[in-house]
């Protein structure tokens, strides 16, 4: 099973680009990589998902190297409202199964944006 | 669309009491989940369901029960509440497991057991 490892916390100043890396050395061929954002007192919110190379949407970019053993969530020009916990999940397509990686969120990375 | 709706938002239980946390989704998602989140911690999976009539245990199922009689509803039952069950409970649903648009979460139920 592909276990994920993320930094526990990160600080950044407003306006800077923030890169959060997730390690998943045992990722399987069919696994996708998904990132979620959680604000205090709210449920997590889907940010972005990818399989390989680069994915970009209106919120973030996701960079995945060729070996797919890690991924980097990039948040451009962060603001105070980006202060949140960011979770990286790895899992395959299809119905959930007990023990599957895509059901486990871990502790995430707590990003604090400083004025 | 309302998405995933959880009730109640807050509840205080005495030790030994029981209650049901309600969860309803209107997105016709087959898959539904219950997570708990203790202060400053990540989410832990309690139970999940891949369709009406089908449920399975997650990481921390002890002290909880679930049922899935319809596609829309996935209630979580706490029997004999204990202080260790003080937590925020999140219900979620998805269309394609973890892929596609991922999970849609409710706003949570904050439960305190005293």
Chain segment A27-70, per-residue pLDDT in tens: 888 888 999 999 988 999 999 999 999 999 999 999 999 999 99
Q: Which of A44, A59, A91, A110 to mutate to test the interface with B (most CBs of B within 10 A)?
A: A44
pLDDT above 60 for A6: yes
Q: Are strands A18-23 and B87-96 parallel, antiparallel or unpaired?
A: unpaired
- Going by pLDDT thresholds of 50, 70 and 90, the confidence category of residue A94 is low
Residues of B whose CB is below 8 A from A104: 45, 59
Q: How far apart are CA B79 and CA B16, in angstroms?
A: 7
Q: How far apart are CA B47 and CA B112, in angstroms?
A: 20
**Contact between chains at B107 and A36 (C-beta distance less than 8 A):** no
CA angle A98, A100, A105 (to 5 degrees): 110
Q: How far apart are CA B24 and CA B72, in angstroms?
A: 5
> ω into residue A27 within 30 of 0, thus cis?
no
Percentage above 70 pLDDT, chain A: 90
- Going by pLDDT thresholds of 50, 70 and 90, the confidence category of residue A99 is low
Report the number of secondary-structure helices (H) and strands (E) in chain A: 0, 9
pLDDT for A2: 56
B66-114 pLDDT, tens digit per residue, is: 999 999 999 999 999 999 999 999 999 988 665 556 789 999 999 999 9
**Contact between chains at A95 and B31 (C-beta distance less than 8 A):** yes
Percentage above 70 pLDDT, chain B: 94
Q: Which residue shows structure tokens 């997105």?
A: B27
CA-based nearest residue to A87, from A38, A27, A23: A38
Q: Would you put residue A101 in left (φ > 0), alpha (ψ -120 to 50) or beta?
A: alpha
Of A12-26, B44-58, B97-111, least confident by mean pLDDT is: B97-111
pLDDT above 70 for A86: yes
Residues of B whose CB is below 8 A from A88: none
Count of residues making up chain B: 114
Half-sphere exposure of residue B91, counting CA atoms within 13 Å on the CB side?
A: 27
- Going by pLDDT thresholds of 50, 70 and 90, the confidence category of residue A105 is confident
Half-sphere exposure of residue A87, counting CA atoms within 13 Å on the CB side?
A: 24
**In chain B, whose CA is at the least distance from the CA of A103?**
B45
* Mean per-residue pLDDT over chain B, rounded: 92
Q: Which residue shows structure tokens 């849609």?
A: B104
Q: How far apart are CA B49 and CA B30, in angstroms?
A: 8
């Amino acid at each position: 099973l592909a276990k994920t490892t993320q930094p526990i916390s990160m600080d950044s100043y407003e306006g800077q680009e923030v890169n959060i890396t997730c390690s998943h050395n045992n990722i399987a061929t069919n696994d996708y990589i998904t990132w979620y954002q959680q604000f205090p007192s709210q449920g997590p919110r889907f940010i972005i998902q990818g399989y390989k190379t680069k994915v970009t949407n209106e919120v973030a970019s996701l960079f995945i190297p060729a070996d797919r053993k890690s991924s980097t969530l990039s948040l451009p020009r962060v603001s105070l409202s980006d202060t949140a916990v960011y979770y990286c999940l790895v899992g395959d397509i299809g119905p959930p199964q007990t023990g599957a990686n895509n059901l486990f969120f871990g502790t995430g990375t707590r990003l604090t944006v400083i004025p | 669309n309302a998405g995933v709706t959880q009730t109640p938002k807050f509840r205080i239980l005495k030790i030994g009491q029981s209650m049901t946390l309600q969860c309803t989704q209107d997105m016709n998602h087959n898959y539904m989940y219950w997570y708990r989140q203790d202060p400053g911690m990540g989410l832990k999976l309690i139970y999940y369901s891949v369709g009406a009539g089908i449920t399975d245990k997650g990481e921390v199922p002890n002290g909880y029960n679930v049922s899935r009689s319809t596609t829309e509803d996935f209630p979580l039952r706490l029997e004999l509440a204990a202080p260790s069950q003080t937590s925020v409970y999140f219900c979620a649903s998805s269309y394609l497991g973890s892929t596609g648009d991922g999970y849609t979460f409710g706003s949570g139920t904050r439960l305190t057991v005293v």
